[in-house]
């Protein structure tokens, strides 16, 4: 997938071709007293507004290019280095992300509390000791930062420090009691420690919190198998296989959308795949993203109505139907579809209304 994404970027002007380490340096100590709280709007390089708009729309290639240009025009502007590092991390360019955030720290060492993503980069590169140390620097400033605690726990786990890792995960769960990944990693560590009953309890809690997490189902299946609970293990493994296949397809589409955020075909594919998992909540979110790209597109609302109805999500489907009544007010086929939907939803009054509107518009 990453190779395909890089190819897509090359075709769009190659913002990833640039090595961020080659961007110009400012005069020594130019930003030594930098504090974002004291940064006035008029002090922002003009290109930062372009960055903001690009990130709001999910246009990562444009944001990447704009950040690089900001750093050419305003060398070592700290917020640009920070955002560039975060963006490279999201694009899975962990080496470049680390280089940017290291540069940010060199420019503004007092801002170490901002550099959790630097630790994430180290962890993703397999540099676990450096990750551990960096998480600890961040936590010294922000001791209750949940994702820094979670990352610290995983770094400790990779360094074969199981008990401290479990202790950190417990801190995460105190601060964020519904943190699915913390329960999943807790289950994983306990399983590896052969503490199977508490491992299963953690895995079941993760599955309870997110019934569409392939990893939670995998853990339940593996632990139940070890405990001799064969039927439960087999059922969990079947569901894991279903979700894991769809998760791979979803990651592919989501990766493509990083570079083509307004691609209607990709957004439709994302919503269709999500619906196949049965996840109503995330399907709603995916459809909202699709509708935002083309708010007046009648065919996209019809697609959304079909998808939500297939999931039995009539609450969300009714909202789409209301919008269809506006967008397709003079379209006979739309009212026929609405008549069928309201019949399925057992809303007799709306069914009759839609049927009458269809017959009037179609002349039948």
CA distances from 255 to 92, 249, 276 (A): 10, 10, 19
Distance CA(202)–CA(196), nearest Å, equals 10
Q: pLDDT confidence of 282, banded at 50, 70, 90? A: very high
**What are 86-112's pLDDT values in tens digits?**
999 998 899 999 999 999 999 999 999
Is there a contact between 220 and 204 (Cβ–Cβ < 8 Å)?
A: yes
pLDDT at res. 28: 79
pLDDT at res. 17: 80
Q: Quick one: average pLDDT of 240-254?
A: 96
pLDDT at res. 140: 98
Distance CA(172)–CA(185), nearest Å, equals 11
* Block residue for tokens 């025009």: 73
First to last CA, the chain: 52
pLDDT at res. 46: 87
Question: Per-residue pLDDT for 81 more than 80?
Answer: yes
CATH architecture of the domain with residue range 178-246: Alpha Horseshoe (1.25)
Question: Per-residue pLDDT for 70 more than 80?
Answer: yes
**What are 152-199's pLDDT values in tens digits?**
999 999 999 999 999 999 999 999 999 999 999 999 999 999 999 999
Is there a contact between 187 and 203 (Cβ–Cβ < 8 Å)?
A: yes
Question: Per-residue pLDDT for 9 more than 50?
Answer: no
pLDDT at res. 65: 93
pLDDT at res. 225: 97
Distance CA(148)–CA(119), nearest Å, equals 8
Give percent of the chain above pLDDT 70: 96
Q: Quick one: average pLDDT of 262-279?
A: 97
Cβ-proximal residues to 224 (8 Å cutoff; 6+ apart), any chain:
200, 230, 232, 233, 236
pLDDT at res. 61: 86
Q: Quick one: average pLDDT of 290-294?
A: 95
pLDDT at res. 7: 44
Q: pLDDT confidence of 37, banded at 50, 70, 90? A: confident
Is there a contact between 144 and 112 (Cβ–Cβ < 8 Å)?
A: no
Distance CA(27)–CA(34), nearest Å, equals 14
Distance CA(210)–CA(182), nearest Å, equals 12
pLDDT at res. 202: 98
Q: pLDDT confidence of 258, banded at 50, 70, 90? A: confident
Q: pLDDT confidence of 14, banded at 50, 70, 90? A: low
Question: Per-residue pLDDT for 5 more than 70?
Answer: no
Distance CA(272)–CA(283), nearest Å, equals 8
Q: Quick one: average pLDDT of 195-223?
A: 98
Question: Per-residue pLDDT for 12 more than 70?
Answer: no
Q: Tell me which of 9-18, 175-184, 258-267, 292-301 is least confident.
A: 9-18
3-state secondary structure the chain: CHHHHHHHHHHCCCHHHCCHHHCCCCCCCCCCCCCHHHCCHHHCCCHHHHHHHHHHCCCHHHHHHHHHHHHHHCCCCHHHHHHHHHHHHHCCCHHHHHHHHHHHHHHCHHHHHHCHHHHHHHHHCCCHHHHHHHHHHHHHHCCCCHHHHHHHHHHHHHCCCHHHHHHHHHHHHHHCCCCHHHHHHHHHHHHHCCCHHHHHHHHHHHHHHCCCCHHHHHHHHHHHHHCCCHHHHHHHHHHHHHHHHHHHHHHHHHHHHHHCCCCHHHHHHHHHHHHHHCCHHHHHHHHHHHHHHCCCCHHHHHHHHHHHHHCCCHHHHHHHHHHHHHHCCCCHHHHHHHHHHHHHCCCHHHHHHHHHHHHHHHCC
**Taking all residues of the chain, what is their mean pLDDT, rounded to a whole number?**
93
Is there a contact between 79 and 36 (Cβ–Cβ < 8 Å)?
A: yes
Is there a contact between 81 and 107 (Cβ–Cβ < 8 Å)?
A: yes
> What residue spans define the domains of the chain?
178-246, 300-364
Can you give the pTM of this predicted structure?
A: 0.87
């Amino acid at each position: 997938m990453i190779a395909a994404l890089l190819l897509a970027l090359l075709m769009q002007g190659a913002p990833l071709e640039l090595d961020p380490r080659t961007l110009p340096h400012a005069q020594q100590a130019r930003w030594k007293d930098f504090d974002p709280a004291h940064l006035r709007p008029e002090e922002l390089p003009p290109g930062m507004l372009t960055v903001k708009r690009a990130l709001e729309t999910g246009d990562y290639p444009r944001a990447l290019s704009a950040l690089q240009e900001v750093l050419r025009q305003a060398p070592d502007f700290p917020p640009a280095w920070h955002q560039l590092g975060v963006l490279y991390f999201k694009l899975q360019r962990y080496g470049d992300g680390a280089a940017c955030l290291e540069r940010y720290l060199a420019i503004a060492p007092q801002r170490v509390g901002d550099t959790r993503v630097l630790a994430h980069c180290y962890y993703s590169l397999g540099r676990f000791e450096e990750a551990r140390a960096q998480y600890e620097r961040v936590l010294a400033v922000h001791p209750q930062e949940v994702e820094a605690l979670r990352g610290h726990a995983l770094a400790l786990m990779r360094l074969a420090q199981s008990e401290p890792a479990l202790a950190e995960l417990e801190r995460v769960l105190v601060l964020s009691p519904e943190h699915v990944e913390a329960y999943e990693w807790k289950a994983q560590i306990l399983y590896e420690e052969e503490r199977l009953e508490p491992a299963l309890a953690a895995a079941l809690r993760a599955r309870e919190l997110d019934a569409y997490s392939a990893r939670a189902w995998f853990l339940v299946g593996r632990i139940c198998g070890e405990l001799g609970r064969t039927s439960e293990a087999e059922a969990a493994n079947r569901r894991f296989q279903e979700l894991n296949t769809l998760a791979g397809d979803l990651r592919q589409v989501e990766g493509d959308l990083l570079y083509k955020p307004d691609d209607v075909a990709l957004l439709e594919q994302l919503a269709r795949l999500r619906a196949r998992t049965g996840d109503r909540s995330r399907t709603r979110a995916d459809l909202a993203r699709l509708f935002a790209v083309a708010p007046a597109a009648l065919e996209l609302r019809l697609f959304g109505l079909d998808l939500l109805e297939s999931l039995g999500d009539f609450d969300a489907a009714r909202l789409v139907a209301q919008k269809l009544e506006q967008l397709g007010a003079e379209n006979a086929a739309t009212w026929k579809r609405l008549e069928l939907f309201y019949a399925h939803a057992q809303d007799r009054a709306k069914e009759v209304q839609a049927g009458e509107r269809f017959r009037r518009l179609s002349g039948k």
